[in-house]
Chain A
Amino acid sequence: MFKMVSYKKLVMLPALIVLFFTQAHAAEVDLKALLESADRSRGNLQGLFWSVETLTQQKGKAEQVLKFRLLTKNANSLVRFTSPSRMRGQMMLMRDRNMWFIRPGLRKPVAISPRQRLTGAASNGDIASTNYAGDYEAVLLAEEDAAGRPCYLLELTANNKGVTYDKIKYWISKSDGLGQRAEYYTVSGKLFKKASFEYTNSIEIDKHKIPFISKMEISDTLSEVKTTLSFTDIVIQDIADSNFNLNLLVK
């Protein structure tokens, strides 16, 4: 009898331990996979050309429109401004957290920080490709609706100092894994920006059509500035690394 119980215990215990850890790990992997899916639909791909138009509205001020072509490959982005005319020829290069602004006539690139505002409520970091899966640790806070859809509400905490936001609350749709809403917080826990996302574009990856970001609306909670980024002309194409090399950018 003793031998039987002992044998069962010997078999069951490791199985239970494996089951416990597998379940725990599975939950962690799911959140990461969820973020990876959301990141993919916000531009974290092997190579992408797209056009971006930003519209900034502020109480009592004229609307500002900025247009640029964006080349993105993983953590690298190159912005080529196309409008207004006075900004044509200007470029912004982002190599992960290294960023430079390049103007025609001023050949020395100016090193800039991710916090520096691109326009209105949008920081440089907002147009760099999103890598929340790599840059943040996620915790599932709740399940609630956002933009009329059932979502997982994740709390993302930065795992490195280089990111634009320290803490993010991120609503990801349960049905398609797309980020619907985000709130951005400072280290002290103060809410300073809100964003919402739309995905009416679509792209094809490995013969699968997936929805892709078409609009991002960012509002600054302190200054009441609202910036809308519209994404069009999306082309998925392998981009050579040399496009993101500062030494080879002919200005």
Chain B
Amino acid sequence: MQKRRRYLSSLLSLCSLIVQPLFSMSAEALEMEMHTRQLTYLLWQQPELSSQNPDNDFLGLYRSQAHAELRPDINFIGSRYQLMLKPRFSYDHWWHKSGVSEDDDKSQHDIYLNEGLFQLELTPTLFTSYGRENLQWGPSYLRTPSNPFFRDNGRDNPKKEVEGKEFLKFVYLPNDWMTVSVISHLQQGGMRAETSVTDTDFKHQHALKLDMIGADYNASLVLSKQEGGNETLAGFVQATLNDALLAYFDGALKRGNHALYPRLDSAHPLGGAFVPQYNNTTEQRFIGIAGASYTLENSATLSLEYMYNGAGYNDTEAANYYTLRQHAGDNLHHPTLGGLARTNLGAALDPGLALLRRHYLLLQYAFNEMGNNLSYTLRWTANLDDQSNKLTLISEYAYNDHLQLFLIGGYNQGRSDSEFPSPLRSSLMLGLEYTF
């Protein structure tokens, strides 16, 4: 909380320092835009009682959640600068937790700045910006391997915002078809109460991004390096093959990565641990997504993606992963091994990989005509290694000009010791979005 206050006050002082003289220079050119949305939803979810979360004792997931959030998006636009602020005010209530703390209701309110950015035009071809932002790019749905800063690309649930991180950026436009960006990730996210983290493991990361655009293609090359040594050569390319067909590729070659891999050790009381065995090494792993999307005559879009996740676990590593997870789950309440078990379960829940295994397929049918009242996306994602899969429905209905109803449902199919059904078997979000 203190960190957040410190951050907010430093950002506001920085903004006032820069904005004040600019306002006085060109006050007549200042415009303010504000869009405010009120989001309210109910979420029901079915936790899977697998070795990851035996009897829901490890994660303590609630079955139901009510969420209300006010999302103002404020933009101050001057002739050479722009200040964007996205403060968020939310209230949550959770109930019906299965497991040991049954019926232990919980409520929480939160105020945080999800994104806040100041962008300045230094010259007509050179721009700089500083602040928190959710920096996303690339054409793929499943994941974005070329983005070294965010694993979550926000496509799973469009009503849940991806939390911003702190960046310093310089963007140079040498001509109309090329853009050079230098991006530094200076602080991790974590302003939300539920995701607030300590700075123990954060490392600065820097990237050089080169974007090119032609009449019917666009491409990007991204070179990035994390403090300590992990390096990535990444990029994407997207081509408009005809008026209905887009083809794309997004990939990354990583040298060293900080993800955790299972290491069996007979001397370890739980049979082993998860270790960052390739961190700062010269071990190279390739991750790539090849995809295409075709717009049908009715304006709906059909998309198909294949992902090769070279950083994911092979069959042996996956078997070791589930062995360690099972041992940890079995010892969760052990008087002396409980702590170690929690460490291993925490690592198993998020080992730092884009996805757990190697081969994935995504098929999506989306009808998102802009002026239409009804829009929906039906998405099927399959893990081809363990045969688990995930079915997602995202639908929105505009009741009138201001009010939208939405329903987002997910069902994960597969064995308990497969990727998608853990930690949730299913979820259903039903809500209203009111735009002022």
Which residues of A are at the interface with B, using a C-beta cutoff of 8 A? 54, 56, 64, 66, 75, 81, 83-90, 92, 95-99, 101, 103-120, 125, 160-165, 240-242, 245-248, 250-251
Residue among A89, A107, A119, A245 having the largest count of chain B Cβ atoms under 10 Å: A107
4 closest A-B pairs by CB:
A119-B371, A108-B136, A84-B401, A117-B299
Q: Is A119 a contact partner of B369 (Cβ separation < 8 A)?
A: yes
- C-alpha spacing A107/B436, complex, angstroms: 20
A-B contacts besides A84-B402, A86-B398, A89-B73, 14 pairs, CB < 8 Å: A86-B402, A88-B435, A106-B158, A107-B134, A108-B153, A109-B137, A111-B246, A113-B244, A116-B301, A116-B369, A162-B242, A163-B243, A247-B171, A248-B119
With known contacts A86-B433, A98-B216, A247-B179, A162–B73 Cβ distance under 8 A: no
* Residues in A whose Cβ lies below 8 Å from that of B398: 84, 86
The distance from the CB of B163 to the nearest CB of chain A, in whole angstroms, is 11
Asked if B416 is at the interface of the complex by the 8 Å CB criterion, the answer is: no
- Min Cβ gap B248→A in Å is 7
Contact partners of B368 in chain A: CB under 8 A: 101, 110
With known contacts A85-B402, A248-B127, A113–B246 Cβ distance under 8 A: yes
Q: Please indicate the chain A residues that have their CB under 8 angstroms from the CB of B262 in the complex.
A: none
In the complex, A92→B370 CA distance in Å? 10
Can you identify 20 A-B contacts, CB atoms within 8 angstroms? A84-B398, A84-B400, A86-B402, A86-B433, A88-B35, A92-B370, A95-B213, A96-B216, A99-B240, A105-B158, A108-B137, A110-B368, A111-B248, A113-B245, A114-B243, A116-B295, A119-B371, A161-B216, A245-B179, A250-B82
The A-contacting residues of B in range 37-90, CB under 8 angstroms, are: 37, 71, 73, 75, 82, 84
Q: Which A residues touch B144, using CB under 8 A?
A: 108
Chain A neighbourhood of B241, CB < 8 A: 161
- When C-beta atoms are compared, the residue in chain A nearest to B75 turns out to be A250
B220-246 contact mask (Cβ, 8 Å, vs A): 1 or 0: 000000000000000000101111111
Minimum Cβ distance to chain B for residue A19 (Å): 37
Contact B240 A114 (CB under 8 A): yes
B residues less than 8 Å from A248 (CB atoms): 119, 127, 171
The reply on B121 being an interface residue by CB < 8 A is yes
When distances are taken between beta carbons in the complex, the residues of chain A under 8 Å from B119 are 248, 250
* B139: interface (CB < 8 Å): yes
Cα distance A123–B215 in the bound complex, in angstroms: 18
**B216–A97 contact, CB under 8 A?**
yes
Q: Interface residues of A: mostly helix, strand, loop or mixed?
A: mixed
Kindly state whether residue B176 has any CB partner on chain A within 8 Å.
Answer: yes
A81 and chain B: residue at smallest CB distance: B370
Q: Which of B37, B75, B154, B435 contacts A106 (CB 8 A)?
A: B154
What is the distance, in angstroms, from B122's C-beta to the closest C-beta of chain A?
12
Nearest B residue to A98, CB-CB: B218
Known interface pairs A88-B35, A89-B35; A115-B299 also in contact (CB < 8 Å): yes
B386 proximal to A (CB < 8 A): no
Q: Is B161 in contact with chain A by the CB < 8 A criterion?
A: yes
Q: Could you tell me the distance between the alpha carbons of A98 and B213 in the complex, rounded to whole angstroms?
A: 8
Which residues of B have CB within 8 Å of A161? Answer: 216, 241-243
Q: A242 with B127: in contact, given A105-B158, A108-B136 (CB under 8 Å)?
A: yes
| Residue of A54, A75, A112, A250 most packed against chain B (CB within 10 A) | A250
Partner of B155, one of A85, A95, A108: A108
What's the minimum C-beta distance from B235 to chain A, rounded to whole angstroms?
15
Cβ of B326 < 8 Å from any Cβ of A? no
Is the pair A119, B370 in contact by a Cβ cutoff of 8 Å?
yes
- B242 pairs with A87, CB closer than 8 A: no
User: What residue of chain B has the Cβ atom nearest to residue A223's Cβ?
Assistant: B298
B394 to A: closest C-beta gap in Å = 11
B370 near A113 (CB under 8 angstroms)?
A: no
Q: Is the CB of B369 within 8 A of A117?
A: yes
Residue on A nearest B245 in the bound complex, by CB: A113
Which residues from chain B contact A162 at a C-beta distance below 8 Å?
215-216, 240, 242-243
Residues B371 and A75 in contact, CB atoms below 8 Å apart: no
**Contacting residue for A113 out of B117, B136, B213, B243, CB 8 A:** B243
Out of A84, A113, A242, name the residue touching B295 (CB < 8 Å).
A113
| Cβ contacts under 8 Å, B117 to chain A | 250
Nearest residue (CB) in A for B399 is: A86
Please name all residues of chain B whose beta carbon is closer than 8 Å to the beta carbon of A116 when the two chains form the complex. 295, 299, 301, 369
